[in-house]
Chains A and B, each alone.
Chain A
Amino acid sequence: MSTESDGGMLRSVVSPERIDRLFDLCGAHSWKLILVSAVLGALPPIFGLREGYMMTVVSEMFLFAILALSWDIVGGQTGYPSFGNMAFFGIGAYTGAILLKNFAVSFPLAVAAAAVVATVFAAFIGLIVLRLRGHYFAIATLGVLLASQQISRNLTITGGASGKILFDVPPGIVFYYFFLGVLVVEIVVVYYLSNTRFGFILNAIRDDEGKATAMGFNTTYYKTAAWMLAALFTGLAGGAYGMFNTFINPQTAYNGAWNVELIAMALMGGTGTVAGPVIGAFGLHTLIEYVETAFVGWQLVILGGAVIVTVIGFPKGVVGTLREYASEMDYYERGGMAATDGDNPEVTGDE
């Protein structure tokens, strides 16, 4: 229904063949594209953007892209929508902050340790929650997030409810390049994996875990590996974020709004793709920054509204919708349902 009207509007602007060709082009030159984007991302500080509001906004954009892409490794590629990814972030942030402040560990070491702790935590939690599916998995992950937040609030080493203020942190430019670097590495890793056996097995788990098991894959192993990979990048980002922000408390480290935002970013960009979560993160973060300055106190209303509209209107996100639109050409050229990927076309219908 609504997809049809989107298609109609799109059609007057650009034809399916064009989009199809664009996808082919991106697919053929993907590595060059990643390289060019990385270089472009590295340029602004060289041309004078070294501090201030814009610098923070762009750094946060990279940060959110890391979070959204990490979420998508498990939520989009593997089909286990987690509502607790911020737990890894918070644990990373606290590990980094405690090491830096209480043990005077250097920045690179503290961040690396944060990633390790988050990954180990994920391995442990994964053993428990990855046995669950659907509703149970989603709520269990939300429970993990809230339990970690409560525990951090009550311990003394984490500074309790008042949190930790960090001094002696590196300048903003370090974080800019750190977040950019982690993002580029993550894009490369995820993109590489999505074309390997590992990535295909993750997608198989998403499409039908029973069949994947029946085909002889140890799905628990692959799920846990994907889950730990997501935690690794989220923990890295979290570890650096504490110092970037110079302050963490349970509310900022396990930020509930961010928890929704990163899912919304992956969803709006297109889950299960590499470009989708990144595009979604850049787009939505720009919007959120604008809303936060223009309509203070209404961010969550607008975010909630945007999520609802996306879910009801175009649940495949920007990249997914465009890809579907582009595959229309295959549909007409080859005819029949064979060309489409077998998805129910009425998925946005009302029943």
Chain B
Amino acid sequence: MAVAQFVVNGLLVGALFAAVAVGFALIWGVVDIINLAHGEMVMLGGYTAYWLLSLVTGNAEGSVLLFLATIPVVIAILFVVGYGLQRTLVSRVIGTDIFLTLLVTFGISIAIQQLAIQAWTANPRSIQVAFTDPSLSVAGLVIPKMKLVGFVGAIVLTAVLYLFLQRTRTGRAIRAVSQNPEAAELVGIDVEHTRAVTFGISSAVAGGAGAFIATILNIQPQMGLVYTLKSFVIVVFGGVGSIPGALTGGMLLGTVEELTAGLVSSQWTLAVSFTLLIVLLVVKPQGLFGTEAQE
């Protein structure tokens, strides 16, 4: 039964990993950049929710509805951050050497990291969401309500992103730029603007996921790199540009981590994820779901 419990925990947390990874894959697919500062967007999203809640209630505690009310604000703020980063810095290296694009985002990542330490100290923080009855019990399995809320939130974020890309005019423009920037420009799409919007949306989704992560796990300024790498694992597993692939990959990674933590020791979870990353890259660099990684 313990194993089933670990799997359930893993699936619940894994959906959040997937939501983070979907944004990461979006930038990779559309702008052709590995955004090493993606994890920092998760961190900033978590802190934004934390401070918004503190602003309203005095401490970072509140009811579920109050917490959920902060999510749209987090998304809006992180969108602006992402849009600005692309417009001011990242756009200048698009089309140059891959190494330079990696370095720019890495530079952004470490700068944001230390600014966050300066602003908020390195102590881990978390948002406390109050419930009268903290967990559900289904067939002997314990399901913490907040994890369930986070799970649903992650699925909603991913679904909204999917619908946005499929149904709206901006979404179609993003997909057009992803397929062929020159042709997109020819039919009158503002490529620079579309790329910046993509960056903004990706950061917004990561930030939204970060807010949920702040309620379930905890947030601290140096958490970012781990989430960037987890996203990479998930995207490599699921294939770039495949949202179902990312969801599966995220939940699988969550399950593997929870099983490692439960059956071996929680100290080994990161070592296992990073080793999994290397193994996956070697065995299946094109992903299990995507046909071609460079789409």
Interface residues of A (CB under 8 A from B): 75, 81, 83, 128-129, 131-132, 134-136, 138-140, 142-144, 146-147, 150-151, 153-154, 256-257, 260, 263-264, 267, 297-301, 303-308, 311-312, 315, 347-348, 350-351
Q: How far, in Å, is B227 (CB) from chain A's closest CB?
A: 12
Taking a contact as CB atoms under 8 Å apart, the answer to whether A138 and B98 are in contact is yes
Which has the most chain B C-beta neighbours within 10 Å: A132, A297, A306, A351? Answer: A351
Known contacts A75-B99, A153-B267, A350 near B92 by CB under 8 Å:
yes
Would you call A129 and B278 a contact (CB within 8 A)?
yes
- A144 to B115: give the CA distance in the assembly, Å: 27
Query: Is B3 part of the contact surface with A, judged by Cβ < 8 Å?
Result: no
| Sample of 10 more A-B contacts, CB < 8 Å, known A129-B281, A303-B110, A311-B104 | A81-B102, A132-B285, A139-B229, A140-B281, A298-B118, A300-B111, A305-B107, A305-B111, A307-B104, A350-B91
| A185 → chain B closest CB, angstroms | 27
**CB <8 Å contact, B271 and A347:** no
Task: Say whether B164 faces chain A, with CB atoms less than 8 Å apart.
Answer: no
Cβ–Cβ < 8 Å partners of B281 in chain A: 129, 132, 136, 139-140, 143
Assess the B92–A147 pair: CB atoms within 8 A: no
Nearest neighbor of A300 in chain B, beta-carbon distance? B114
Closest A residue to B111 by beta carbon equals: A304
- B69 contacts which chain A residues (CB < 8 A)? none
Q: List 12 A-B contacts (CB under 8 A).
A: A140-B277, A142-B229, A147-B277, A260-B110, A297-B118, A304-B107, A304-B111, A305-B107, A307-B107, A315-B97, A348-B92, A348-B96
What residues of chain B lie closer than 8 Å to A136, measured between beta carbons? 236, 281, 285, 293
Q: Using A138-B34, A154-B271, A312-B93 as known contacts, say yes or no to A304 and B108 having CB atoms under 8 A apart.
A: yes
Q: A104 vs B265: C-alpha distance in the bound complex, in angstroms?
A: 32
Q: Please name the 4 residue pairs, one residue from A and one from B, whose CB atoms are nearest each other, closest first.
A: A304-B111, A150-B271, A307-B107, A147-B274
User: What per-residue 1/0 map shows which CB atoms of B98-129 lie under 8 Å from chain A?
Assistant: 11101110111111111101100000000000
Interface string of B44-81 (1 = CB under 8 A from A): 00000000000000000000000000000000000000
Q: Which chain A residues border B102 with CB–CB below 8 Å?
A: 81, 83, 135, 138
Identity of the chain B residue whose Cβ is nearest the Cβ of A153 in the assembled complex = B267
A312 to B285, CA, bound (A): 30
Distance (whole angstroms) from the CB of B280 to the closest CB of chain A: 9
Q: Is the CB of B229 within 8 A of A299?
A: no
| Interface pair B267/A154, CB less than 8 Å apart | yes
Q: How many A-B residue pairs have CB under 8 A?
A: 132
Instruction: Verify B274–A150 contact, CB threshold 8 A.
Output: yes
- Cβ of B291 < 8 Å from any Cβ of A? no
Contact A128/B110 with A135-B98, A267-B103 known, Cβ cut-off 8 Å: no
| A146 / chain B contacts, CB cutoff of 8 Å | 225, 229, 270, 274
Q: Report B-chain residues with C-beta under 8 Å of the C-beta of A257.
A: 110
A59 to B275, CA, bound (A): 34
B162 in the interface (beta carbon within 8 A): no
Known contacts A300-B111, A305-B111; A139/B34 CB under 8 A: yes
| Measured CA separation A233–B40 after assembly (Å) | 33
Q: Which residues from A are CB-within-8-Å of B285?
A: 132, 136
Q: From known contacts A128-B282, A132-B281, A267-B103, infer whether A308 and B274 are also in contact, taking CB-CB under 8 Å.
A: no
Contact status of A351 and B94, CB under 8 A, knowing A139-B277, A154-B268, A311-B104: yes
Among A139, A300, A307, A350, contact of B103 (Cβ-Cβ < 8 Å): A307
B271 to chain A: which residues have CB within 8 Å? 147, 150-151, 154
B232 at the interface (CB under 8 A from A): yes
Bound CA–CA A299/B111 (angstroms): 9
Q: How far is the CB of B284 from chain A (nearest CB, A)?
A: 11
CA A336 – CA B112 in complex, angstroms? Answer: 44
A-chain residues with CB within 8 Å of residue B93 when the two chains form the complex: 311-312
How far, in angstroms, from A82 to B278 measured CA to CA in the complex?
A: 14
CA distance A299 to B100 in the complex (A): 21
Cβ-closest chain B residue relative to A305: B111
Contact B107 A128 (CB under 8 A): no
Closest CB of chain A to B45's CB: distance in Å?
20
Q: Which of A128, A134, A308, A347 has the most CB of B within 10 A?
A: A308
- For A313, the closest partner residue in chain B by CB is B92
Q: Which residues of A contact B267 (CB under 8 A)?
A: 153-154
Residue of A nearest to B268 (CB): A154
CA distance A150 to B229 in the complex (A): 14
- Chain A residues with CB under 8 Å of B111's CB are 300-301, 303-305, 308
Chain A contacts of B96 at CB under 8 A? 315, 347-348
CA distance A254 to B170 in the complex (A): 43
B278/A147 in contact, CB under 8 A:
yes
B4 on the A face (CB < 8 A): no
Residue of A whose beta carbon sits closest to that of B99:
A81
How far does the alpha carbon of A10 sit from the alpha carbon of B93 in the complex, in Å?
24
**Known contacts A129-B278, A138-B98, A304-B109; A312/B114 CB under 8 A:** no
